[in-house]
């Protein structure tokens, strides 16, 4: 289509290419209000026109409804404000008709918002960040110290008052006091035993020591501590998140759901209108605790003091090695999958190793595993690990994860550095006292008791990962710069995989080594990257 000079100038504001090639015409769509962008995506299936032409048509229609012409526009106006004034009502009506009234939910995925969520608890953060369709970035307990003023007090517990509120407050006060003391003591201890060596740079050396000190001290933090995070999410997913939050028994969750909806509706006034508490979800929250009590499976035996987590393999594909090889061959064959599995099974063990060796030989240090490695039944693990480590494992949202309500009945992990720095007696006393008080809160407020369950207490979690995700997880989380607790989970998972799928496990590049040295190397590399960027900027 030939555009006028005015149309061309207008299109350049919203599309990176105006006159594209005859084949593979790819362009960036920019500066559009979220619902306008979603509408343009939505009409693709209903029109043969390009997105640029649809944009001009709809803009003209909006202007005509106001008694104006396209040429009346002042293009120098703020682009989004310009379109909101002209096209928002028409886009909102389109989306209401198709996305809401007719249930074409995929249209909501064309509208994306970026929310900043600050001064919320770790408990609501973990709940939201279970969602696998979002992108998140959160404050790190490894690199950022926390303050005592930033704890959430559950309003139902505070209203109840008496011993239960006092127990809640004492956990927050006592664990945080030791956290503050421990960060200082641990850092001083590390500086004594690992002084700066010749050839080492002071900045990465100090960052490394602080990270290791925070890693150990954070076991005394509670999920009541405030954090902040950014969230990039489409409207369809955000509706689900908001609905889950507004259906939750805890007041903070409902409040966060309300505020996320209010802010997102500034950009997406139509698409979140029907996000509201869900009666079915609320009924499950009410019914399931009663059912597990009736079945006699609500409580676990109480373990006092230090405990060690473990990882078990609940289920796996007994033909995994054969099925993964067949999955690799599948796209390049015309045979049924069963025939490929049979052919692979006819090979000797040595032939299968040789075949996979030849296919994986070119894989570089940062190359992803082939997508075909998702083509077998997943591994199902159950692990018992501290909540601090699970906060990191929870980022692997590609697989299915299930976490039980936070509790203190499984005992707690003790970071080795706590022992080394002479803090063990104080740590044990604080954790034992917190366990007793958490149980006191849990007797009346089982959900709110999660706020006063220090990170060091063990929790039971199910992890269901396809083979490709298992390999990725083990390779990433076994790194020597990683946290000692999730490193153990990664290496335990690898050991379970080796027991049942030795050929597959052979190609997983697990990492072992001294944690301090590994982290120091990582920090030095980061410093070197920064230096190269600074030099490049200076040269230019």
Q: 21 or 496: whose pLDDT is higher?
A: 496
Q: 470 or 61: whose pLDDT is higher?
A: 470
Domain boundary among 63, 87, 110: 110
If we measure between CA atoms, which residue out of 409, 436, 402, 219 comes closest to residue 307? 409
What is the domain count for the chain? Answer: 3
Q: What angle do CA 493, 495, 498 make, to 5 degrees?
A: 110
| Most confident segment among 220-234, 292-306, 447-461 | 447-461
Does residue 540 sit within a domain?
no
Does residue 239 sit within a domain?
yes
* 90/203 same-domain check: no
Residue 462 has pLDDT above 80, yes or no: yes
Does residue 538 sit within a domain?
no
- The reported pLDDT for the residue numbered 39 is 74
* 508/432 same-domain check: yes
* 16/102 same-domain check: yes
Judged on CB neighbours under 10 Å (0-12, 13-18, 19+), 106 is middle
Q: What digits encode the pLDDT tens for the residues 57-93?
A: 888 887 777 788 877 777 665 455 566 655 555 544 5
CATH number at residue 269: 3.30.70.3180
Q: How far apart are CA 434 and CA 174, in angstroms?
A: 8
Q: 432 or 308: whose pLDDT is higher?
A: 432
Mean pLDDT, all residues of the chain: 86
* 270/287 same-domain check: yes
- The reported pLDDT for the residue numbered 138 is 83
Name the pLDDT band for 268 (thresholds 50, 70, 90).
confident
* 351/487 same-domain check: no
Does residue 432 sit within a domain?
yes
Judge if pTM exceeds 0.85. Answer: no
Q: How far apart are CA 318 and CA 528, in angstroms?
A: 46
* 426/491 same-domain check: yes
Name the pLDDT band for 533 (thresholds 50, 70, 90).
very low
- 61 token code pair: 């229609």
Domain boundary among 110, 144, 178: 110
Q: What are the angstrom distances between the C-alpha of 294 and each of 283, 288, 299, 328, 537?
A: 17, 10, 11, 48, 67
Q: 103 or 38: whose pLDDT is higher?
A: 38
- The reported pLDDT for the residue numbered 136 is 84
- 300 token code pair: 């676990």
* 167/306 same-domain check: yes
Give every CB contact of residue 42 below 8 A, 6+ residues apart in sequence: 94, 95, 98, 99, 104, 107, 110
Q: What digits encode the pLDDT tens for the residues 316-373?
A: 999 999 999 999 999 999 999 999 999 999 999 999 999 999 999 999 988 999 999 9
Does residue 526 sit within a domain?
no
- Residue 524's SS3 state is helix
* 261/389 same-domain check: yes
* 135/250 same-domain check: yes
Does residue 530 sit within a domain?
no
* 227/144 same-domain check: yes
Which residue in this structure is represented by tokens 């594909």? 317
Does residue 229 sit within a domain?
yes
- The reported pLDDT for the residue numbered 225 is 93
Residue 363 Rama label (left phi>0; alpha psi -120 to 50; beta): beta
* 328/389 same-domain check: no
Helices (H), 268-314: 279-294
Does residue 527 sit within a domain?
no
> Under a CB-based contact definition with an 8 Å cutoff, are residues 207 and 87 in contact?
no
Q: What digits encode the pLDDT tens for the residues 363-415?
A: 998 899 999 999 999 999 999 999 988 888 888 888 899 999 999 999 999 99
- 175 token code pair: 């664990």
Q: Any idea which of 129-143, 420-434, 453-467 has the lowest mean pLDDT?
A: 129-143
* 224/271 same-domain check: yes
> Which neighbouring-strand residues pair with 382?
312, 462
Domain boundary among 50, 85, 110: 110
Structural domain boundaries, residue 150: 117-311+379-518
């Amino acid at each position: 289509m030939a555009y006028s000079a005015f149309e061309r100038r207008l299109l350049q504001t919203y599309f990176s290419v105006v006159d594209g090639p005859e084949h593979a015409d790819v362009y960036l769509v920019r500066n559009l209000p979220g619902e306008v962008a979603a509408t343009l995506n939505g009409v693709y299936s209903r029109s043969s026109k390009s997105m640029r032409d649809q944009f001009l048509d709809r803009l003209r229609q909006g202007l005509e409804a106001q008694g104006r012409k396209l040429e009346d526009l002042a293009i120098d106006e703020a682009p989004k404000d310009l379109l909101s004034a002209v096209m928002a009502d028409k886009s909102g009506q389109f989306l209401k008709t198709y996305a809401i009234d007719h249930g074409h939910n995929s249209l909501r995925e064309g509208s994306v918002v970026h929310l900043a969520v600050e001064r919320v608890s770790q408990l609501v953060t973990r709940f939201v960040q279970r969602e696998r369709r979002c992108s998140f970035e959160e404050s790190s307990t490894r690199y950022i110290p926390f303050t005592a003023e930033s704890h959430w007090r559950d309003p139902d517990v505070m209203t109840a008052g008496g011993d239960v509120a006092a127990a809640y407050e004492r956990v927050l006060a006592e664990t945080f006091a030791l956290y503050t003391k421990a960060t200082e003591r641990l850092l001083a201890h590390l500086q004594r035993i690992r002084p700066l060596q010749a050839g080492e740079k002071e900045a990465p050396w100090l960052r490394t020591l602080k990270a290791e000190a925070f890693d150990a001290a954070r076991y005394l933090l509670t999920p009541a501590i405030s954090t902040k995070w950014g969230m990039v999410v489409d409207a369809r997913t955000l509706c689900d998140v908001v609905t889950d939050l507004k259906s939750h028994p805890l007041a903070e969750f409902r409040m966060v759901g309300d505020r996320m909806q209010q802010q997102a509706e500034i950009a997406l006034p139509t698409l979140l209108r029907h996000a509201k508490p869900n009666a079915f979800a609320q009924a499950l929250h009410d019914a399931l605790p009663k059912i597990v009590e009736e079945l006699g499976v609500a409580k676990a035996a109480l373990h006092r003091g230090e405990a060690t987590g473990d990882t078990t393999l609940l289920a796996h594909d007994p033909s995994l090695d054969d099925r993964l090889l067949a999955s690799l061959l599948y796209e390049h064959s015309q045979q049924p999958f069963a025939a490929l599995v049979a052919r692979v099974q006819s090979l000797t063990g040595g032939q299968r190793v040789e075949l996979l060796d030849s296919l994986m030989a070119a894989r570089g240090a940062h190359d992803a595993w082939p997508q075909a490695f998702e083509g077998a039944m997943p591994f199902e693990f159950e692990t018992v690990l501290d909540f601090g480590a699970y906060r990191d494992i929870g980022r692997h949202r590609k697989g299915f994860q299930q976490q039980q309500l936070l509790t203190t009945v499984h005992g707690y992990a003790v970071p080795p550095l706590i022992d080394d720095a002479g803090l063990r007696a104080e740590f044990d006393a604080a954790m034992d006292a917190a366990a007793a008080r958490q149980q006191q809160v849990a007797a009346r407020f089982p959900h709110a008791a999660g706020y006063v369950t220090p990170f060091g207490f063990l929790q039971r979690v199910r992890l269901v990962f396809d083979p490709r995700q298992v390999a990725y997880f083990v390779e990433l989380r076994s790194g020597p710069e990683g946290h000692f607790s999730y490193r153990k989970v990664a290496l335990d998972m690898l050991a379970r995989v080796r027991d049942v799928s030795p050929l597959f496990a052979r190609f997983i590049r697990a990492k072992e080594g001294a944690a301090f040295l590994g982290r120091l190397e990582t920090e030095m590399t980061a410093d070197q990257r920064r230096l190269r960027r600074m030099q490049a900027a200076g040269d230019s």
